[in-house]
């Protein structure tokens, strides 16, 4: 009789995500069913789906933040800084503060491993990649200071950073030293963005 008084709305959502993440980290994404998550969270299956559209979102629920970061990186850049440079600086800054998006956050190794092992999570990330790209393209399109092919630039930026991030994840899973990884990460960001700005 899970009739607790806290009908907290968004609190249950957070609670479900938390419980689910725990189970996934413990037993792997594909080895945990939605019904199990629901039971462990003291909630019904339908309730889970009323908070999260897809199973993958239970683990990747903070992904949407990335869209906002990308948008503001472009929108709030100084007048004398180009789009490529603005995004580059944002990414370098995120790396400095070991932000989750840079995959340099401490203690997320297990998380990265689980994600890498589940094809359906990878697929979700791919879709998400294009969501970020679309948001970026939209931002560029409506940017009076930018002239050029918005869709193309957005695609190149996202693709380039994804390549960098994937390489960084691999080194994390290999267990390398975090500081060394961070340095290499930033170097790769710089090389990739140099390539976009000045050609291969």
Partner DNA sequence: CCCGGTCTGTTTACCGAGTAAACTTACCGG
Partner DNA sequence: CCGGTAAGTTTACTCGGTAAACAGACCGGG
Binding segment toward DNA, per CB under 7 A, in 18-26, 47-55, 82-90, 150-158:
47-55
Check binding of 192 to a second copy (CB under 8 A): yes
Check binding of 66 to a second copy (CB under 8 A): no
- C-alpha of 49 from chain center: 21
Q: Decide which of DNA, a second copy, none touches 168; Cβ closer than 5 to 8 Å per partner kind.
A: none
Q: How many Cα atoms are found within 13 Å in the side-chain-facing hemisphere of 80?
A: 0
From 89, 113, 162, 171, residue interacting with a second copy (rule: CB under 8 A): 162
Buried b (16+ CB within 10 A) or exposed e, 170-191: ebbeeeeeeeebbeebbebbee
Q: How many Cα atoms are found within 13 Å in the side-chain-facing hemisphere of 153?
A: 21
- C-alpha of 135 from chain center: 14
Check binding of 2 to DNA (CB under 7 A): yes
Task: Compare residues 42 and 71 and give the one whose CB is closer to DNA.
Answer: 42
Helix (H, G, I), strand (E, B) or coil at 2: coil
Check binding of 43 to DNA (CB under 7 A): yes
Check binding of 130 to a second copy (CB under 8 A): yes
Task: Compare residues 17 and 150 and give the one whose CB is closer to a second copy.
Answer: 150
Task: Give CA–CA dist 178/106, Å, rounded.
Answer: 8
In the complex, which residues of this chain contact a second copy (CB under 8 A)?
A: 84, 123, 126-127, 129-130, 148-149, 151-153, 155-156, 158-160, 162-163, 166-167, 191-192, 195-200
């Amino acid at each position: 009789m899970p009739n607790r008084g806290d009908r907290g709305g968004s609190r249950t959502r957070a609670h479900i995500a938390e419980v689910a993440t725990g189970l996934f980290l413990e037993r792997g994404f594909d080895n945990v069913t939605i019904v199990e998550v629901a039971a462990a969270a003291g909630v019904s299956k339908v309730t889970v789906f009323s908070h999260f559209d897809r199973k993958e979102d239970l683990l990747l629920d903070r992904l949407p933040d990335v869209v906002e970061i990308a948008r503001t990186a472009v929108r709030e850049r100084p007048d004398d800084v180009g789009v490529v440079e603005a995004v580059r600086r944002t990414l370098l800054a995120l790396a400095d503060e070991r932000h989750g998006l840079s995959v340099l956050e401490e203690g997320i190794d297990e998380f990265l491993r689980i994600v890498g092992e589940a094809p359906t999570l990878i697929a979700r990330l791919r879709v998400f990649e294009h969501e970020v790209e679309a948001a970026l393209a939209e931002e560029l399109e409506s940017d009076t200071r930018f002239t050029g092919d918005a869709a193309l630039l957005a695609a190149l930026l996202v693709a380039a950073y994804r390549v960098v991030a994937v390489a960084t994840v691999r080194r994390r899973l290999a267990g390398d030293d975090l500081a060394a990884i961070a340095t290499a990460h930033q170097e790769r960001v710089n090389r990739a963005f140099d390539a976009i700005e000045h050609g291969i």
